[in-house]
């Protein structure tokens, strides 16, 4: 029985990614793995409420430019929150023809995060 899926997003800089996902999107670091003394490569777990993301700067883990859908209670309230954190929003809350209300943002590595409320 499946229990959980956690997307792994590839990033160039774990420091820049943690800054974006923590300060801009409100996630916090759950764990970090860095072999040696350098900041990168790095594998990090991030969490906000019940949503989990992993980011990796290891070259063999994923590729940049992924798309992740995060289901949220209220896209419009989250939009206001992200604007207050000065997040560049690619697409503001929009009612889609397939029945979702969605908003998109991108990190510095062009990974797209879609915040979705099924209607």
Q: CB–CB of 64/111 below 8 Å?
A: yes
Can you tell me the distance from the alpha carbon of 101 to that of 58, in angstroms, rounded to the nearest whole number? 34
Domain ranges (residues) in the chain: 8-118
Q: What is the pLDDT of residue 62?
A: 82
Can you tell me the distance from the alpha carbon of 41 to that of 12, in angstroms, rounded to the nearest whole number? 9
Q: What is the pLDDT of residue 119?
A: 83
Q: What is the pLDDT of residue 98?
A: 96
**Residues in CB range of 16: below 8 A, 6 or more apart:** 108
> What is the CATH topology of the domain spanning 8-118?
2,3-Dihydroxybiphenyl 1,2-Dioxygenase; domain 1 (3.10.180)
Q: CB–CB of 46/22 below 8 Å?
A: yes
Length of the chain: 119
Q: What is the pLDDT of residue 28?
A: 97
Q: What is the pLDDT of residue 63?
A: 84
Can you tell me the distance from the alpha carbon of 30 to that of 17, in angstroms, rounded to the nearest whole number? 14
DSSP SS3 for 111? coil
Q: Is the pTM of this model over 0.85?
A: yes
Per-residue pLDDT of the chain (119 residues; tens, 9 = 90+): 999 999 999 999 999 999 999 999 999 999 999 999 999 999 999 999 999 999 999 998 888 999 999 999 999 999 999 999 999 999 999 999 999 999 999 999 999 999 999 98
Q: CB–CB of 90/110 below 8 Å?
A: no
Residue reference for tokens 């997040």: 87
């Amino acid at each position: 029985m499946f229990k959980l899926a956690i997307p792994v997003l590839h990033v160039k800089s774990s420091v820049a990614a943690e800054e974006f996902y923590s300060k801009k999107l409100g996630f916090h670091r759950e764990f970090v793995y860095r072999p040696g003394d350098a900041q990168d490569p790095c594998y990090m777990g991030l969490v906000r409420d019940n949503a989990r993301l992993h980011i990796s700067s290891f070259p063999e883990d994923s590729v940049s430019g992924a798309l992740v859908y995060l289901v949220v209670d209220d896209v419009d309230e989250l939009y206001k929150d992200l604007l207050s954190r000065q997040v560049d929003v690619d697409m503001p809350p929009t009612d889609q023809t397939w029945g979702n209300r969605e908003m998109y943002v991108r990190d510095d590595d062009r990974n797209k995060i879609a915040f979705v409320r099924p209607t």
